[in-house]
Amino acid sequence: MVIDDRVDKCIRDTCIDIGKRYEIHFVEIGADKDHVHFLIQSVPSWSISRLVTVVKSITAKRIFEIMPELKKDLWGSSLWTSGYYASTVGKHGNENAISKYVKDQGRQNEYQQIHRDQLTLF
């Protein structure tokens, strides 16, 4: 298991810092034993791939700085896989439906919400 409480906290804190520097708002962050779910709000000029790249690269760098032993646990591999799933919500979309979907992806009783905020207007 790679994602434990210490990694959860580092991901959450790093994402909150990312939100202060970029036009990215983390509405919800949740973790399972082996993956993380993000509900992110951003400006329309940001592509999904740009959002994913920023989140993955900054969080991985920070986690490996704070917990270098994790790199050994991963056999020198990456923290994040190359893939991701993304869904978007427009003005007629439903944040609650997306949030429920994110929670339902976790294994029974393993999803842990590690951050929750409200959608905001930029």
Residue extents of the structural domains in the chain: 5-116
Given this model, what pLDDT does residue 94 score?
Answer: 67
**Please, which pLDDT band fits residue 20 given cuts at 50, 70 and 90?**
very high
Report yes or no: 39 and 28 within 8 Å, Cβ to Cβ.
Answer: yes
Averaged confidence pLDDT in the chain? 81
Q: Are 85 and 70 in contact (CB under 8 A)?
A: no
* Per-residue pLDDT reduced to its tens digit, 111-122: 677 777 765 655
pLDDT of residue 33: 73
Query: What's the pLDDT score for residue 121?
Result: 54
pLDDT of residue 2: 64
Q: What is the mean pLDDT of residues 75-84?
A: 79
Closest C-alpha among 116, 108, 121 to residue 33: 108
Q: For residue 19, which of 44, 45, 54 has the smallest C-alpha distance?
A: 54
CATH architecture of 5-116: 2-Layer Sandwich (3.30)
User: Which tokens belong to 62?
Assistant: 């920070």
Residue 77 pLDDT class (50, 70, 90 cuts): confident
Question: What average pLDDT does range 94-107 have in this prediction?
Answer: 67
